[in-house]
Amino acid sequence: MMTSNALRQVARDRSLFVPVGLFIVLLAAVATRGHGLFTTNGIAGAILVATPLILTALAITPVVMAGRGAVDLSVGPLMGFINVTLITWLVSNGVTNPVAVIGWAIGLGAAFQLFQALVIIYVRVAPIIVTLSGFLVLSGINLMVMSRPGGVAPDWMLSWGAGTSVFSPVLFLLLAAYVVWAVLRRTMFYRNLRMTGADERMAYTSGVPVDTVRIIAHAVGGVFTGLAALSYTALISSGDPTQGSTYTLQAVTALVLGGASLSGGRGGALGSTLGAINMFLISYLLSTFNFGTVSGFVTQMAFGLILVGSLLVNVFVISRRAAA
**Residue pLDDT, tens place only, 170-214:** 999 999 999 999 999 999 999 988 888 888 888 888 888 889 999
pLDDT value at residue 259: 79
Range 88-114 average pLDDT? 94
For domain 4-323, give the fold: ABC transporter involved in vitamin B12 uptake, BtuC (1.10.3470)
Residue 218: count other Cβ atoms within 10 Å of its Cβ.
26
Q: In one letter, which amino acid is 11? A: A
Provide the residue ranges of all domains of the chain, joining segments of one domain with +. 4-323
Q: In one letter, which amino acid is 157? A: M
- Show the CA angle centred on residue 145, arms to residues 140 and 149, nearest 5°: 95
- Show the CA angle centred on residue 281, arms to residues 280 and 287, nearest 5°: 95
Range 225-241 average pLDDT? 93
CA distance 211 to 231: 31
Angle between helices 188-198 and 40-65 (to 10 degrees): 70
Q: What is the pTM for the complete model shown?
A: 0.89
Q: Convert the pLDDT of each residue in 68-94 to its tens digit.
A: 767 889 999 999 999 999 999 999 898
Residue 182 parent element (H or E):
helix 169-185
